[in-house]
Amino acid sequence: MREILGRRRRLRFRRKERTARLDAAVTFAVEWNWPVLPGAGLRATTTRTATATGASPGAGARTAAGGATRTAPGAACSCPDPDCAVPGAHPYDPGLLAATTDERMIRWWWTRRPDAPVLLATGGRAPCAVSLPAAAGARALAALDAAGMRVGPVVASPTRWSILVAPYGLERLGELLYAKDSVPSSLRFHGDGGYLLLPPSVAATGQVRWERAPLAGSARPWLPDVEAVVDALVEASTSAPGGGSRRAY
């Protein structure tokens, strides 16, 4: 009986998660006019590991004589690339150009794939973003708060934080960065033709959440200009372990 109740709770929780992704996608697209699309998502995998005494993980069939093998659950990107750099957290089918604010299309997508993460197509009239490693993001946010700078929504995953900013063009961004002595390679700029994973999605790196959530009931979240935040983000990334190198993250 306890096992049946536990299974029911897990099923209810999973249904609630699926509904939350659809509700979020509809809010972003319809209420805030942010173009979204479903991400690639994850597929379940299993890894066989040896459990026999003295057996190596690669022992394979040899464990049958002296022990057993155990399957460990895991996750991989649903796209065909076995070496996907951002498992689950990128466009796949449909492609990025399909991003829309049409409610009927969004409901159809997430009815077919309720577990799909929610991707924002950045640039144009949609928000842009600057992302950086999580530790550097926390330092940058603290510095902006200390300076009395107003910050808009901030998206956080276990590995990276993303500051949403008002739309900017490549020429404007290039002028900003050209004026810097150096720009850490761990900083990523999500502008025209880019995308960003939004809460409450899940990718291989873990759960995506709001570190700074949009104000409840707002017609459309307020966003700062990129000029207002870029100095703090560059400084926080430069002082990160490894000098803000992309290799470290």
Of residues 159, 130, 135, 150, the one with CA closest to residue 233: 130
Question: Over its length of 249 residues, how does the chain's per-residue pLDDT go in tens digits?
Answer: 555 544 545 444 455 556 899 999 999 999 999 999 999 999 887 655 444 444 444 444 344 344 444 433 468 999 999 999 999 999 999 999 999 999 999 999 999 999 999 999 999 999 999 999 999 999 999 999 999 999 999 999 999 999 999 999 888 888 988 888 888 889 999 999 999 999 999 999 999 999 999 987 667 899 999 999 999 999 998 876 654 544 433
pLDDT tens track for 29-46 = 999 999 999 999 998 876
CB atoms inside a 10 Å sphere around CB 153: 22
Q: Round to whole Å and give the CA distance between 65 and 168.
A: 64
Could you check whether the bond before residue 153 is cis, i.e. omega within 30 degrees of 0?
no
Contact status, residue 131 vs residue 162, Cβ threshold 8 Å: yes
Burial class of residue 229 in the structure, from the number of CB atoms within 10 Å of its CB (0-12 exposed, 13-18 middle, 19+ buried)? buried
